[in-house]
Amino acid sequence: MPTVLLSVSDKTGIVDFAKELKRIGWNVISSAGTAKILKENFVQCQEVSEVTGFPEILDGRVKTLNPKIYGGILAIRSKTEHNEQLSRHGIGTIDMVVLSLYPFEATINRISKPEDKKINQDVIENIDIGGVALLRAAAKNYKDVIVICDANDYKVVIENLKDNSVTEELKLGLAAKAFRHTAYYDSLISTYLTYEKFPTQMAIPLKKLSGLRYGENPHQNAALYSNGIEGKPVVIYAEQLHGKELSYNNYLDLEASWCLVHEFDNPACAIVKHNNPCGCAEGTSIKNAYLKALTCDPVSAFGGVIAFNKLVDDSVALEMSELFIECVIAPSYSKDALNILMQKKNIRLLVQEIPYKREKYSTEYRMMSYGMLVQDIDNKLLNGIKFMTNRQPNEQEREALNFAWKVSKHVKSNAIILVRGMQTVGIGAGQMSRIDSLKIAAEKMKRVKHGLDERIFSLVLASDAFFPFSDVVEQAAKVGVTAIVQPGGSVRDDESISAAEEANIAMVATNTRHFKH
């Protein structure tokens, strides 16, 4: 009679599965917790302690770690010496292991990671030891043992057992799944317990949330994964209210716009296209912010992704209904706004109620061929202010420079941002030379319609990195720039300062660079 070992923390479907196994002639061994629910449902089983002759000890920390369990799982049935040893020690074979691990993931999602390194004892107690070992043992011996770590596989296994069609291919697939499961589980634990920024070895937990229609291009397959930490104020956990399935590129643009719009406290709007802002503004209202952001580059905004940091009302929804938009993400929508926007069949509407805030100790990863780059997230806005010219920016210019500098963090290098008030009027991004970025920004500025504010603001410029030459400053003077913010630190700073002094441009250094590749 074949034997199954059942030990599950998640009892979903286990009673029905055990009953099906009993019907087709399987013997059931079970850990105490699972045995209790089986017996309550009239499923006959033998407890692990009865098999091992040894009780559970240390509050259940030790129960299955016994040769009579692992010998029965790991014995290679085709080896005579293995069978002889089992017989000599009175060990029966275990032909299937069905197991779900302690809910470590649910526990850490309930208990935030402390900054003082005092780990909650409940977290420690939900680190499974024997369960991981059981899954690995069964998976290692997959040719002789079926291993199940997911209740969704109960049905297919039962069907194949009834048809006597359990193939080695099926068992190998289940074994690989078990190893992925334990690897993910261990990576959650190691990540949660690690406070070292760049340890010698890293394990990154990734759990599939959904498949995607395709990647950046139709010939590329793609999927969306999370790191297992739920409830974060990020795009992947936003609720989609309307529209067709999100694409790979949609997610990238939503992430870029959501991060940018939360640089600001006042009503703000960020419009992103191909992972770069084509307009961003703060306004007196969310409608005002949207119109100001849109006027920066209405051509590029066509088919873009739009993020708001405040409730979307019917007034801004009416304005957006005139433009083809891929996606909108906001903390909330009025009922009237949803009614208006949902008239557009293809627009994707997302709501993320929690404002985005970069975590202090967050890191980011970028894949390379057979490797990965890891770095701190760019959380620092500036590292002090240094006035580089005799003329200092006035109050209006300072506010605009602060706004422009925040936007510069989110524009691909080389980045030049032209701003009037709290509104981008020209953005140059991703060029190989900084002067070309300025030329692009200045050309786009020619299209900007004014009149959204009661007064005309001075034109200011932000550069994500220092000026290697004075050409950007000289060209900036020609397009009417009155103040510049840049990191400073070039060996030719004196040349740029002289050019600014000659043009009566106020120049400020932040001592912080914001390259974005």
**DSSP sequence for 193-210:** H---SS-SS-----EEEE
- Which domain, by its residues, includes 24? 3-193
Q: Is the pLDDT of residue 455 over 90?
A: no
From 177, 242, 274, 516, the catalytic residue: 274
User: The domain that contains 98 carries what CATH number?
Assistant: 3.40.50.1380
CB 77 within 8 A of CB 83: yes
| Cα–Cα distance, 359 to 374 (Å, whole number) | 16
392 and 346 in a single domain? The answer is no
CB 210 within 8 A of CB 223: yes
From 140, 177, 232, 516, the catalytic residue: 140
- Residue 209 inside a domain? The answer is no
pLDDT of residue 360: 67
Reading the block at residue 433, the tokens are 């030379």
274 is catalytic: yes
Percent of the chain residues past pLDDT 90, beyond the cut: 69
pLDDT of residue 260: 96
383 and 495 in a single domain? The answer is yes
Rounded to two decimals, the pTM is 0.88
134 and 23 in a single domain? The answer is yes
Number of structural domains (the chain) is 3
Nearest one of 471, 409, 410 to 438, comparing CA atoms = 471
338 and 433 in a single domain? The answer is no
pLDDT of residue 449: 61
- Residue 384 inside a domain? The answer is yes
Nearest one of 48, 33, 32, 39 to 18, comparing CA atoms = 39
pLDDT of residue 62: 77
Residue 451 binned pLDDT confidence (cut-offs 50, 70, 90): very low
Q: What is the pLDDT of residues 131-166, one digit of tens each?
A: 999 999 999 999 999 999 999 999 999 999 998 889
Last residue of a domain, one of 193, 217, 243: 193
29 and 121 in a single domain? The answer is yes
Residue 482 C-alpha from the chain's centroid: 40
Q: Which of 60-64, 450-454, 479-483 has the weakest average pLDDT?
A: 450-454
DSSP-H helix ranges across 152-247:
154-162, 168-193
User: The domain that contains 254 carries what CATH number?
Assistant: 3.40.140.20
341 and 401 in a single domain? The answer is no
Distance between terminal CA atoms of the chain? 62
Helix (H, G, I), strand (E, B) or coil at 107: helix
pLDDT of residue 377: 85
140 is catalytic: yes
Q: Is the pLDDT of residue 304 over 60?
A: yes
Helix (H, G, I), strand (E, B) or coil at 101: coil
